[in-house]
């Protein structure tokens, strides 16, 4: 299951997010979306967890949690049409 994490503190790293989500299960991938021109975080990212049950527990536990200096929002990422 792919989760989106919004309202990330701009200094939060992929490593920090991965460690948080690994408390709830296996993390397949973790990506913070970066502004290519400025080289800084855009304030959101994605975590891919192969087991939906673990992802749901992580989503419930981490939604509205303070990470860094921001209260993040975690939800299931919508699949985009290509």
28-72 pLDDT, tens per residue?
999 999 999 999 999 999 999 999 999 999 999 999 999 888 999
What was the pLDDT predicted at 68?
Answer: 82
> Could you give the CA distance from residue 11 to residue 15 in angstroms, rounded to a whole number?
11
What was the pLDDT predicted at 81?
Answer: 59
**Domains of the chain by range and CATH?**
2-66 (3.30.70.330)
Residue with tokens 């209260």: 71
What was the pLDDT predicted at 67?
Answer: 87
CA 73, distance to chain mean position in Å, is 9
| pLDDT at position 82 over 60 | no
CA 45, distance to chain mean position in Å, is 5
What was the pLDDT predicted at 37?
Answer: 94
């Amino acid at each position: 299951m792919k989760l989106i994490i919004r309202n990330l503190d701009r200094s939060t790293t992929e490593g920090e997010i991965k460690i948080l989500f690994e408390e709830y299960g296996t993390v397949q991938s973790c990506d913070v979306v970066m502004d290519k021109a400025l080289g800084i975080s855009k304030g959101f990212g994605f975590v891919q967890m192969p087991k939906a049950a673990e992802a749901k527990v992580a989503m419930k536990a981490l939604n509205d949690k303070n990470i860094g200096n921001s209260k993040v929002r975690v939800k299931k990422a919508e699949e985009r049409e290509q």
